[in-house]
Amino acid sequence: MKNSFSVDIDCDPIWVYERDLNINFRIKKNLIFIQALNVYLKLLKKYKLKATFFVIAKDLKIKDNVIFFKKAIIEGHQIGNHTFNHYSNFSKKNLKVVNNEIYKAHDFIKKKLKITPKGFRAPSYNINPYTDNILSRLNYKYDSSHLPGFSTFLYKIFFLINKKKKSFSVIKNFFSKNKFQILNNLNLYRFPIATSTFFRFPIHPSVVYFLGKKYFNFFMKNLSNTSGHHVLLFHAADLFNADQNHDKFKYFFNKSYDFRFKLIEMYFKKIKNKVIFKEDLIKTNN
């Protein structure tokens, strides 16, 4: 296979957006799980794709959420650790907090879902000096937190406009690698989130919503013709139908639900028969 992809879905619920943007959307806090994530399951099944769902562990306190993730596991998908509380300033936290966020999430996922996660993504596209060692002690296979290039610069501007600070480092991510690597001393792989090969433009839906299908077609063609493994990042809210009775959240996307649904389908059509779990790719490299 010349190139391969993995499908990652960050299961950030309504409360994450409300906290980060200082907005009360007045939406039932569990609605993304009830609605959007089940749409993802249907699309993944339609295109015979497998995904890794990165869960904020405290959301597993809600029974319906646990039911969803157990369903996803039965259908052959994997679960990743997305910390316990999804602190937007995760990379600025001290060792005690970081250790607790990862370990507590790890143990809670094991308890509620009866599986042991092997992959991790930090909130806000950034880790700190403690993260790799903690993941290694837990025998994790990989971290997939970094968004290379100037993508985080765009996000920084977006959140500053919305008067909300984010802790990710623009400079650190700008110079981070855009190909996966192994940290030999820790036996831990680092998978960056996919960007285009030139200028490292962002390619995930959160950006495409604002830049349109021409942007998508151009850069996905570039990525599809590039050898290596590419981690495509999606968010649960991408398939949340905010068009009815949720006007504030609708304008957060700048695109209708119909547009977003068709766009996710376009991604899945492009990568059909090219998807592999990162854990399986690691096995082939050992």
**Cα(127)–Cα(12) distance, rounded to whole angstroms?**
18
| C-alpha 248, offset from chain centre | 23
182 φ, ψ (degrees, to nearest 5): -110, 135
Each residue's pLDDT expressed in tens, for the chain with a length of 286 residues? 578 999 999 999 999 988 887 888 888 878 888 899 999 999 999 999 999 999 999 999 999 999 999 999 999 999 999 999 999 889 889 999 999 999 999 999 999 999 999 999 999 888 888 999 999 999 999 999 988 876 666 666 555 555 555 555 555 555 566 688 998 789 999 999 998 887 788 888 988 988 889 999 999 998 988 999 999 999 999 999 987 667 777 777 788 899 999 999 999 999 999 999 999 999 988 7
What is the residue type of 35?
Answer: Q
Looking from the CA of 104 toward its CB, the CA atoms found within 13 Å total 16
The Cα 5–Cα 79 span in angstroms is 17
pLDDT value for 155: 61
Residue among 119, 124, 115 at smallest CA distance from 102: 119
Task: Kindly give the pairing relationship between strand 78-81 and strand 51-55.
Answer: parallel
Its CATH class, for the domain covering 3-285, is: alpha beta
Question: What is the C-alpha separation between 142 and 84, in angstroms, rounded?
Answer: 18
Q: What are the two backbone dihedrals, phi and then psi, of residue 49, each rounded to the nearest 5 degrees?
A: -115, 150
What is the structure's pLDDT at 22? Answer: 81
Collect all residues with Cβ–Cβ distance below 8 Å to 65 and sequence separation of at least 6. 30, 33, 59
- H or E stretch at 38: helix 37-46
Q: What is the pLDDT of residue 285?
A: 82
Contact (Cβ atoms closer than 8 angstroms) between residue 136 and residue 120: no
- Measured distance between the N- and C-terminal CA atoms of the chain, rounded to whole angstroms: 17
pLDDT of residue 88: 86
